[in-house]
Structure 1
Amino acid sequence: MTNPKIAQTFESTFNRFVQTRMAGFRLEDFLEEGVPEGQKHADYVFPEQRIIVELKTLVKDHGDRASVTRHVADGLDKYKFPKTCLGQWLSGKAPLPRQVARYVDRKVQNSIKGAVRGSNGQIRSTQQLLSEPHEGILMIANLTETMFGPVELLKNFAKHALERRSLAIDAIVLITPGVAYSAEGSLPQHYLMPVYREGKTHLGDFVEPLLESWIDFEALELGQEPDVEIANQIDEKSKSARPNLRYRP
């Protein structure tokens, strides 16, 4: 299911946040002559920090029952499995055949891969428009996607980014304003999670204040008081880590 109006509303809110809280600009407002017609570009520029941010909103929920069921049915048909497999899987009596499970995963991964490919090109194109070197951040706002948990979703984006031969994305930041996750016995939580390219953890000096300010801004917009938990998570392959934020609205 896709709802573009949700994305438009969120992007309008995020525009106000960037302009009023972070002293950033939409690229077309920052460039004196505007963006050349037809040229792909990222959404925001922060000239003082020399950072470009491309915002991607996830508005298609691959985890809703209708979407997953449709992909499973297509996979069963493609690999000539009996249609009874669908009912057995839906009832929990049997797992999907391995070929079908991989087929469904590819369908979802292709969407993520396409978002990364497009964002990488937009950031690189924007770097070429600016007179000084700028680092690039991909910010993902999950508004509806329930197929993956927050950590798995961020890992999938990072995986596809690292597969790019010419990578312009120096950090990926996931926020989940439209999806709250809850473990057994816990209250629903929204997540704000960054991951950094090797040698780019210094971008946390920009990302962490941005996320803290966003929590405050969003709570003010909703008339709520957030309950924030900071969790330091260290990748076993990394010598350093930056904090992740979890909060209950």
Structure 2
Amino acid sequence: MAIELRTPRQVEEMRPAGRFVAEVLTRLVEAADVGVNLLELDALAHAMIRDRGAESCYIDYHPSFGAMPFGKVLCTSVNDAVLHGLPHSYKLADGDLLSLDFAVSVDGWVADSAVSTIVGTPNPDDVRLIDTTQQALAAAIAVARPGNKLGDISAAIGDVARDAGYSVNTQFGGHGVGRTMHGDPHVPNDGRAGRGLPLKPGLVIAIEPWLLASTDEIVMDADGWTIRSADGSRGAHSEHTIAVTDDEPIVLTARD
């Protein structure tokens, strides 16, 4: 496991990427409305990337599980899709649960964040699901301090999820962030407190709890990217890039 710790100066250099990712996600949530096509949201994100002079982390991304390079700059996961949703021609409908995941490089530093929102009329079950991912993320960030272990972050997520009655899938989770989008360490969404990597100042990670309403089993679409619940239940996803410091963790992708 090759884990790089960032200097305080490097963490400061990562702030513009975090601010830009937050700005784009805020704009996308505002734009997501009934009748808006997922491809329009991707085009909006693409235009903002060009205007900023940033570089997409997704468009040429082709890990071993991907059937092809991603080809878009934004993940758009709708309803029973929860992760890596490949934008396609679909017009958002009233009541859709939309998860947006976005990562870019600005001046050589990466930031990665995700948010779930409801289009039009909210369903209370969807609101609760989204709220739980946000609470799990907040709980995980709160323990991202020197003296704690990586397992404390994972346990915080799992505890919030289980207390709310949800099961947890650990196949996909958080990860190190720096010059590239995905690095060590892997940050599972469940674990045992007091175990694992000691948290040290300069560790920069993306923490990303995601939950499905009534299962922890997933299936993948034929596109080789879009991950859905195995039982058709809805999913939600919340993510921030954070830096461990000598004091409070810094949420680099915090949205206003």
If the TM-score is normalised by the length of the shorter chain, which range does it land in?
under 0.3
For CA contacts below 8 A with separation 6 or more, give which structure has more relative contact order.
2
Greater share of helix residues, 1 or 2? 1
- Structure label with greater radius of gyration: 1
TM-score (norm: length of structure 2)? 0.26
Greater share of strand residues, 1 or 2? 2
